[in-house]
Amino acid sequence: MEILSLINIPYWILTISLICLSLYLYTVWRHGIWKRLGIPGPKPYPFLGLLKQLPIDGFAATDFNLIQKYGKVVGVYQGTRPTLLISDPDIVRDLFIKDFSNFTNRPDVIKPDKFTSHSITVARDDYWKFLRTKISPTFTTGKLRNMTPLIQRCSDDLVDNIKKQSEGDSVIDMKEIASGFTMDVICSTAFGMQVNSQKEKDNQFVNYARRAMRTQVKAIFFLICMTFPFMKSIMTALFETPQFGGTEHFFKKVVSDILKDRNSSNIHRDFIQIVTEDSSTNDKSEDTEAHQGSSRFHSRALTEDEIAVNSLIFFAAGFDTTSIAVSFSSYCLARYPEIQDKLIQEIDKTLGKLVEMAYNEAEIPTHDVVMKMEYLDLFVSEVLRLYAPSTRFFREAREDVSINGWLIPKDADVTVCIYALHRDPEYWPDPEKFDPERFTEENKAQRHPYAYLPFGIGPRICVGMRLALLETKMAIVYMLQNFKFLTCDETEIPVIFEKGFLLRAENGVKLRVTQR
């Protein structure tokens, strides 16, 4: 093709050039949304927006720095997806409580595969409500009491693992030990599997579980979908891959075998049993009523696929988050010995010192006793303030909405920056100071009720929150009945965090313990 009769350009080069120019102009237009709406924020990097910065500084530091610079409402772009970062508790309340119907769903960056689409984490609208209704009863107080023996057995293994690894005054990595503990608890409470992942390194179930949790969407696939959202369906159709690393068949078979093996005379206390025991029939159909808008959802039981994927989601979500809470709890115990001593006094007064082979001299921690310990609750709350496992949570705007003078456009991602909010001096004086007394009833009454959100907020708050708290508190009690934690030369102060979405210690949590 000749241009101005001077240059002869092949059609294929011209076509590619026009496509590239069109895509560039598309990103420029998309990257102007927040400026047109008058919402402050950094100048986006071409095509990538904030995605260029996240691998460098990490989610926590990036959110914190942007909030510090631009205020409590910041307009950014993840690829070309407009994302509103929020750390204002009033806006959080208005969006996620008062206007929840407009912010029911999580953003759908990539199209879930057939198996994953049944999970409560990606389900939308009526289908999410149906799944939430079926799954929530798993975490009532009565059901958690029944799960407690499973957690007690895993807590005994936790104590044994700490003893073994600390022999000869050895330094232990509580990040690794806590991961083993939470793996064992979730295996028990989700699937009824009794394992000790610290000892059974080659356990098939544990290996498949770790494989499922390590699975990540390929970077190029993710970037294309974030930069050009209209390509999501095309990319999924061309390159659809299992989103749990090909482990779906294994877990579906596990659930199927479990359901076949159980009958009314069996006594089980795990997730699979609880979500099936209230129904006299269980529809095995793969049809899920198109997932949305069907009143028939509430008249049927969960399918095997729904039980399988939500068991796996329960497993994946509970593993990392609770192991982070346990590992940072031990870190804070070592860093603040006066707080550790005060907590030990409460435990000893309530239960007694638990020494090997002396169970008759001390009460075994139970659900009711552990959950009523006042100072333990203050301590765990402060750990979760400074080290909330998730750095942020997010929803998608169903329609345009105006909040506090800010217009949030339809389909925009609204992200609450937990890490930044939990370190805001307006609500947390001297925010880097570790002080459990912040959570006394008197101090909580003087603070904004939505300034503390380690598990999210509103109807879509973390469904397993109560189990996570029980598991964390049980681990602390068992450990402090046996040990005291100490810092050492290898203890990293302050902790360096990984760059990812979860607040993990990049170099582990290295401590020493002494036998009580």
The annotation places the binding site at 462
Is 96:458 a contact under the CB 8 Å cutoff? yes
Tally the residues of the chain.
516
DSSP 262-285: --TT----SHHHHHHHT-S-----
Is 308:286 a contact under the CB 8 Å cutoff? no
**Angle at 202 (CA atoms; ends 197, 207), nearest 5 degrees:** 75
CA distance 223 to 357: 56
Q: The sheet that has 392-396: what strands, in order across it?
A: 73-78, 81-86, 413-417, 392-396
Q: Backbone dihedral region of 168: left (phi > 0), alpha (psi from -120 to 50 degrees) or beta?
A: left
Q: What's at 511, amino acid-wise?
A: L
Task: Specify binding-site residues for heme.
Answer: 462
Q: Which residues pair with 346 in a beta bridge?
A: none
Q: What sign does the CA torsion over 134, 140, 142, 145 have? A: positive
CA distance 227 to 466: 37
CA distance 462 to 453: 10
Given the structure tokens 């965090």, which residue do they identify?
497
CA distance 46 to 3: 29
